[in-house]
Amino acid sequence: MAFKSLHIIEPILTALSEEGYTTPTPIQAQAIPIVMHGSDLLGCAQTGTGKTAAFAIPILQLLSKEKQTGPKRPIRSLIVTPTRELAIQINDSFKAYGRHTGLTTTVIFGGVGQQQQTNALQRGVDILIATPGRLLDLMSQKYISLKDIQIFVLDEADRMLDMGFIHDVKKIIHALPAKRQSLFFSATMPPEIVKLASTILHEPKEVSVTPVSSTVEIINQHILFVDKGNKGALLMHLLKDEKIRTVLVFTRTKHGADKVVKMLVKNGVKAEAIHGNKAQNARQRALSNFKSQSTRVLVATDIASRGIDVEDMEFVINYEIPNIPETYVHRIGRTGRAGASGTAYSFCDGEEKAYLRDIEKLIGKKIPVMEDHPYPFTGAKAPRTEQSERPARTPRTSQTQRSGQSPRNAQSSRPGQHTRTGSSSRSGGSARTEQSERTGVKTHGERPAPKAHGDRPAPKAQSERTGVKSHSGPGSAAGRRRRPTRSGSSERSGKEAPKEQKTTKPEKKSWFSRFLPFK
């Protein structure tokens, strides 16, 4: 079957011929007539089977029948996709297939400034490719109106659900006109996607080229059991093969991707990472370097890898086994595209054997095990190298010990009573004495009792009158009011009271003195 048999208009046929396409893939042969007829579509096809052209070609043909004129064209078709890389790829496909139709397309995504995107929108576009976040952002700023949408496409619906965009998708759908044509395309078709499609699509036609759990049979799949700590060494061992000119390595986390790149660069291998934490310019530069083979190894996470379409890529390595079985199907589908041969290696440690069983259950067959490698699985645990051991925590010293002065007296004058230490003045003056003028006893830490009303001598004068040394600590300031402690504290603490010193000025009596014991 040729594209001519699908009743495709001449401008599009010319563009397809220029791209080197003459025969449609199975998903294209089934989906293009359905979309041209105006029906809703629920399509399931593995990545690399020509899914993008399956909806791009009929959309271009349908919109070409009614070309818009005027200074600003309304948006008539909207394609929503989960990642920036996939959005750029779809935009490139629309431009390639529709170069002779006169239709305009643009792509919007986050991670970059919006000025260039808003300028294109203000000039008017027929087809808009967008990621959910930036689309909703520009809709709230009134740059985008969806009231004229005729054809809506949700691509990679399974990944959209996995990334948590389901609420954003519902907001977008709510802004669409009720009368429209809706298309759902997905690499996998879990039950959640079928349920979501049933609430949005209207009497859709289903197209499934391959079963949901099948993998591309032409890909040579291998499992390599290895200890977690030896995965890096095993990767370097495989890269010694000169046949591996470029390879796409998958990790589960962003941190894991950066760690693998660091290890490869340290060993002299040109490698770059692509994941959500990378800036858009860095991601595009890494992808361009990989396509031009100036970068040998591209390390990617599952979400960021959507949209990576590299021709003649023969090798994929699962550095970590995915915990979602359907993700394995997507990963190895990066190679063996368009009927080409491909090889997929998967490193499996002891903790990932359960993931491997789920994958083999999904695809319905056992993956061959490659035992001929220098790092066989022994069950040894990987050493902890990511985080250095925390040094032993030194006991916390008191405030007096930190300042080099004597520690606080731990003995209190009575149960429940706090101990206190006198302090020296911040301004250099001597502290007020903590000794009762009646007893002349030095106190270390007892809480002072109230003084007689009006008896407030200056700290220095009192120290000179009594001749008692003040015990300063780091906690008090000069001139801080302190009241003398009750008599008898020295007897309770087992200390001998020094002899009372006579003062030149007689002690002032007060009503409080009646409660003090007499000698």
How far apart (Å, rounded) are the C-alpha atoms in residues 5 and 225? 49
> In the numeric block, which tokens belong to residue 321?
């086994």
- Per-residue confidence at 309, pLDDT binned at 50, 70, 90? low
Work out whether strand 41-44 and strand 105-108 pair parallel, antiparallel, or are unpaired.
unpaired
| Residue 309: CB atoms within 10 Å | 18
- Kindly tell me if the per-residue pLDDT of 402 is higher than 90: no
Q: Are 136 and 171 in contact (CB under 8 A)?
A: yes
Model pLDDT, residue 179: 92
The pTM assigned to this predicted structure is: 0.56
The full set of domains in the chain, from first to last, is 3-208 (3.40.50.300), 219-363 (3.40.50.300)
Q: Are 16 and 93 in contact (CB under 8 A)?
A: no
- Kindly tell me if the per-residue pLDDT of 60 is higher than 70: yes
Model pLDDT, residue 479: 45
Condensed to tens digits (0 to 9), the pLDDT of residues 437-455 reads 444 444 444 455 444 444 4
- Kindly tell me if the per-residue pLDDT of 58 is higher than 90: yes
| Average pLDDT of every residue of the chain | 76
Q: Identify the residue with better confidence: 385 or 371.
A: 371
How far apart (Å, rounded) are the C-alpha atoms in residues 36 and 7? 10
Q: Are 309 and 86 in contact (CB under 8 A)?
A: no
Cβ neighbors of 19 (< 8 A, separation 6 or more) are 96, 97
- Kindly tell me if the per-residue pLDDT of 325 is higher than 60: yes
Model pLDDT, residue 491: 42
Closest by alpha carbon to 297, among 255, 338, 340, 262? 262
- Mean pLDDT, residues 238-266 taken together: 92
- Per-residue confidence at 357, pLDDT binned at 50, 70, 90? very high
Q: Identify the residue with better confidence: 272 or 160.
A: 272
- Mean pLDDT, residues 480-509 taken together: 50
How far apart (Å, rounded) are the C-alpha atoms in residues 364 and 49? 21
Q: Identify the residue with better confidence: 406 or 350.
A: 350
How far apart (Å, rounded) are the C-alpha atoms in residues 8 and 22? 12
How far apart (Å, rounded) are the C-alpha atoms in residues 47 and 316? 14
Q: Identify the residue with better confidence: 155 or 400.
A: 155
- Mean pLDDT, residues 68-93 taken together: 86
Distances in whole angstroms, Cα of residue 135 to Cα of each of 121, 140, 414, 452: 12, 9, 72, 78
470: left (phi over 0), alpha (psi -120 to 50) or beta: beta
- Kindly tell me if the per-residue pLDDT of 466 is higher than 50: no
- Mean pLDDT, residues 497-516 taken together: 55
- Kindly tell me if the per-residue pLDDT of 180 is higher than 90: yes
How far apart (Å, rounded) are the C-alpha atoms in residues 303 and 274? 10
- 429-438 in b/e burial notation, b at 16+ Cβ within 10 A? ebbbbbbbbb
Q: Identify the residue with better confidence: 317 or 191.
A: 317
Residue 395: strand, helix, or coil: coil
- Per-residue confidence at 267, pLDDT binned at 50, 70, 90? very high
Condensed to tens digits (0 to 9), the pLDDT of residues 183-232 reads 988 777 777 777 888 878 988 998 887 654 455 567 889 999 999 999 99
Model pLDDT, residue 515: 58
- Torsion of Cα atoms, 392 then 394 then 395 then 397, to 10°: -170
End-to-end CA distance of the chain: 123
- Kindly tell me if the per-residue pLDDT of 48 is higher than 90: no
- Kindly tell me if the per-residue pLDDT of 513 is higher than 90: no
Q: Identify the residue with better confidence: 475 or 515.
A: 515
Model pLDDT, residue 305: 60
Mean pLDDT lowest among 62-76, 304-318, 476-490? 476-490
Please give the share of the chain, as a percent, with pLDDT higher than 90: 38
Condensed to tens digits (0 to 9), the pLDDT of residues 93-137 reads 999 999 999 999 999 998 888 999 999 999 889 999 999 999 999
Q: Identify the residue with better confidence: 209 or 23.
A: 23
Model pLDDT, residue 381: 64
- Kindly tell me if the per-residue pLDDT of 178 is higher than 50: yes
| Residue 207: CB atoms within 10 Å | 20
Q: In what order do the strands lie in the sheet with 77-80?
A: 105-108, 127-130, 77-80, 151-155, 181-186, 41-44, 205-208
